[in-house]
Amino acid sequence: MLLSPANWLPQAPLEPLLLDWLTRAGIEVAILRLDQIDPLISGNKWFKLIEHLKAADRAGAQGVISLGGAHSNHLHALAAAGKRLGFETVGLLRGHPQQTPTVADLQAFGMQLHWLGYGGYRARHEPGFWEPWQAQYPNLYAVPEGGGGLAGALGCKALKEQVSVQLSNLGWSDYHGWWLACGTGTTLAGLVLAEAGVHPVYGALAVPDDHGVAPQVAAIVREAGLQISAYELIDASRGGFAKVDPVLLEFIENAEQSCGVPLEPLYTGKALLALKQQVEAGRFEHGTRLIFVHTGGLQGRRGLISYS
């Protein structure tokens, strides 16, 4: 690769999240704006890529091959990083050829696309799946779907440091926990590793329980050898991944108007609604201070969200 990712570590601003339902409950929330780290390489997906890209560099690879769907934030970040840093990217996509704003960006960024169909994509966890692709692209480094695994989690540990150096700007000396959306659980696992039991991490599941987030997080924590961890997974999927309903859309619209922070309905919108429900149920004591992670992904809402 032409440029190591270590040479580009964007800083995400930490700012107060001002919403009336938080004020009424006496809860303070600071939002880590990963959606603002870069115009193209946005959100937690970049942090999940960092250690994978370093491994690809060490392996002498000329680029990266990975998987995702037609609205994939992961592939979008990977393709944008390839264009920015000067390495080759190949995307293996779920389903059959279609044109979405995300796919158009992938093509514009120079990513070579292969559509696997649905059956072919389901085979991604089977033994031998990568062999023909590695034969076709021997100079590329394979990164798992979503940039997951221990490498992805280790890249996300940096988020704790980004928060710690900005707490004084809010007048905070400490906080009581993290709240964020979970798709694979990799970012949550990274925060769990960074915290090592000091502060709890609450993950609002954007996918149903059968997507295996809990065992994935447990496997990462176990592989890292962490003895003490504190985290909880909370169902926020609203019936399934990418399930969007009128209540959610109305909540997002109202929240955006109130706090001025753009949201999307698959991850961050669901996570914030789940937090509201937990706050109004009395889950957190008056005076609690939480860090809410805006995981980005705003590019993926193009064509997915519309307000009536």
User: Which residues of the chain are modeled with pLDDT < 50?
Assistant: 1-3, 305-308
Q: Which residues on neighbouring strands pair with residue 290, listed in sequence order?
A: 29, 177
Does 7-39+150-301 match 44-148 in CATH topology?
yes
Question: Residue 250's pLDDT is what?
Answer: 96
Q: How far apart are CA 66 and CA 68, in angstroms?
A: 7
According to CATH, the topology of domain 7-39+150-301 is: Rossmann fold (3.40.50)
Enumerate the domain spans of the chain: 7-39+150-301, 44-148
User: Going by DSSP bridges, is the β-strand pair 88-93/231-235 parallel, antiparallel, or unpaired?
Assistant: unpaired
Class (C level, CATH) for 44-148: alpha beta
Residue 131 CB neighbour total at 10 angstroms: 9
Question: Residue 211's pLDDT is what?
Answer: 85
Q: Give pTM, 2 decimals.
A: 0.92
Q: How far apart are CA 126 and CA 285, in angstroms?
A: 46
Question: Residue 42's pLDDT is what?
Answer: 77
- Backbone CA torsion sign across 116, 51, 233, 205: negative
Tokens of 259: 């706090």
Tokens of 54: 């370093």
Q: How far apart are CA 157 and CA 14, in angstroms?
A: 16
Q: How far apart are CA 47 and CA 111, in angstroms?
A: 20
Tracing tokens 């004591």 back to the chain, one arrives at: 285
Angle, CA of 238, 29 and 260, to the nearest 5°: 75
Tens of pLDDT, residues 159-215 = 999 999 999 999 999 999 999 999 999 999 999 999 999 999 999 999 998 888 999
Question: Residue 41's pLDDT is what?
Answer: 84
Question: Residue 243's pLDDT is what?
Answer: 85
Tens of pLDDT, residues 90-102 = 999 999 999 999 9
The Cα-based distances of 3 to 53, 212, 255 in angstroms read 10, 35, 39
Question: Residue 303's pLDDT is what?
Answer: 58
CA terminus-to-terminus distance, the chain: 46
Q: Exposed, middle or buried by CB within 10 Å (0-12, 13-18, 19+), for 125?
A: exposed
Q: How far apart are CA 185 and CA 215, in angstroms?
A: 9
Q: Kindly tell me the number of DSSP H helices and DSSP E strands found in the chain.
A: 13, 10
3-state secondary structure of 289: strand
The Cα-based distances of 83 to 93, 216, 235 in angstroms read 19, 30, 36
Amino acid letter, 97: P
